[in-house]
Amino acid sequence: MDTTTIDTPQGQVRGRTENGVTAFLGVPYAAAPFGPNRFRAPTAPPSWDGVRDALDHGATVPKVGYRPPTSEILSEPVVEGDDCLNVAVYTPDVAGSAPVYVWIHGGAFVNGSNAVPAYDGSAFARDGVVAVVINYRLGVDGFARIEGAPANRGLLDQVAALEWVRDHIAAYGGDPAQVTVAGESAGAMSVATLLAMPRADGLFRRAILQSGGGHNVIAEETATRVAAALASSLSVDPTVDGFGSVPVDALLDAQRSLSDRVAAEAASGAWGELALKMMAFQPYVDGDVVPAEPYSRIADGAGADVEILIGTTSEEHAFFLVPAGIVPHITEDYLAAILAGYRLDPAALDVYRAQLPDASPGELMIAIMTDWFFRMPAVRIAEAHPAHVYEFTWRSPLFDGNLGACHALELPFVFDVLDKPETARITGPTPPQALADEMHRAWVDFVRTGNPGWGRYGAQRTVRMFPGTTVDDPRAATREVWDGVR
């Protein structure tokens, strides 16, 4: 292994160089969020004397981890240590001034890290882009409403990472004036929130949102109820001192148990908006860090100077339903209840049946839930803000082909990491490299120029299909059933 040492504002850093790409891993962008910093806003990054090795991934933040079957599909590395607010930097030339791609991982705001193999940024660096993959606090530490603590600490971490990029990335060969912030799932929801956050103004000029939009926040009242229930389960107060008195592992166990309880009780209405929004720990509207629902602010002009690339996979919700074996058990009555929960006219089901005439009730549910959670929030942002829109349509052969073009399937294509063995857990054994070449190139071109290779959504509602060509207003009929609803 060759190494490269550079001078940075924090001190000297040694990275590993291979095939023309230098990776600096585990570089802290803020102080460790423990001890006196627990549940506080991120503080200034540390500095050091001598040379700091950045040869291996840094610590990952506390997280609950995935359960089967999700754990059999997605990789979730754990790296012990306190300096978990760190970045992984992949650069083509430490003496250059390349555009920068900052990646915010997904994981439902409770899982994920920059150590996930699919987020290796080497292919971006190979193609002339500095890739920066960040960690941020998750679950209770990042998003619980805690008395005496700043709101939405996980989002404050993301802003701190972007400020680190602004102030430090030139030392790694990046241009701080050419930053694209990108993410998938909870990461894309974070990007939409950053677009609408005054604290993030000016920190990026382009944004990529993969399978996430601007509707995924909850009310402060809901966040307060969740925190109170968590505190009650632990017999502590919902305060910094109360939650801080609980060992990290015990807090994670309680977080998981409460999330299970919310999921079990949500349909009864016991948890209000979480019946639809599902995630007990996610950003909430606090009036300061998150002033209002991100989509509403974007529609009113927030982030108007930011160029946007946004899209979804065709069958997002198959990821959540097919591996768990739920699809064959969905009945017509359950499907009707789903429509009612979403406030859709019952006649909308006829529109979906016309679109998918051979679909079972479970397959129709995948389509409807995909549209509510992912497709329509993306459409609404594209309607409000000039954007390039894509749809990933390639279907995984796994689960007898029923996994389809599911949530997260596009990731190894975007990062061009189909050679990594972990990716076969979602793509199957022979994914098409030509599709990765095509999709990765579009992302690189957008980061470099703001043009991924096709026109903006606009009046024609142009969408780029991967694989395929551009299509105007795909599945217009099912899009229209959501007018005034989502």
Q: Which residues are identified as catalytic?
A: 185, 316, 407
DSSP one-letter string for 403-435: TBS-TTTTHHHHTT-TTSGGGHHHH-S---HHH
The sign one gets for the Cα dihedral 202, 208, 210, 214 is positive
User: Cis before residue 467, ω within 30 degrees of 0?
Assistant: yes
The one-letter amino acid at 345 = D
> 3-state class of 2 per DSSP?
strand
Return d(Cα 115, Cα 335) in angstroms, integer.
Answer: 38
DSSP 66: P
53 vs 453: CA distance, rounded Å: 39
Q: Which amino acid is at 75?
A: S
Using an 8 Å Cβ cutoff, are 189 and 213 in contact? yes
- Exposure string over 348-364, b if 16+ CB within 10 A, otherwise e: bbebbeeeeeeeebbbb
Q: Scanning the structure block, which residue is given the tokens 């959504």?
A: 457
DSSP letter for 239, please: B
**Neighbour count for residue 75 (Cβ, 10 Å):** 18
Beta strands, E only, 305-398? 307-313, 387-392
DSSP-assigned letters across all residues of 271-327? TTTHHHH--SSS-EE-SSSS-S-HHHHHHTTTTTTSEEEEEEETTTTHHHHTTTT-G
Asked if 435 and 423 touch (Cβ cutoff 8 Å), the reply is no
Q: Are 175 and 99 in contact (CB under 8 A)?
A: yes
What are the structure tokens assigned to 39, written together? 């549940």
Q: How many CB atoms lie within 10 A of CB 32?
A: 17
Distance, in Å, from the CA atom of 133 to the CA atom of 190, rounded to the nearest integer, reads: 14
**Six token digits for residue 184:** 């998938």
Token pair belonging to 217: 């926040």
240-253 as b/e, with b when 16 or more CB fall inside 10 Å? eebbbebeeeebbe
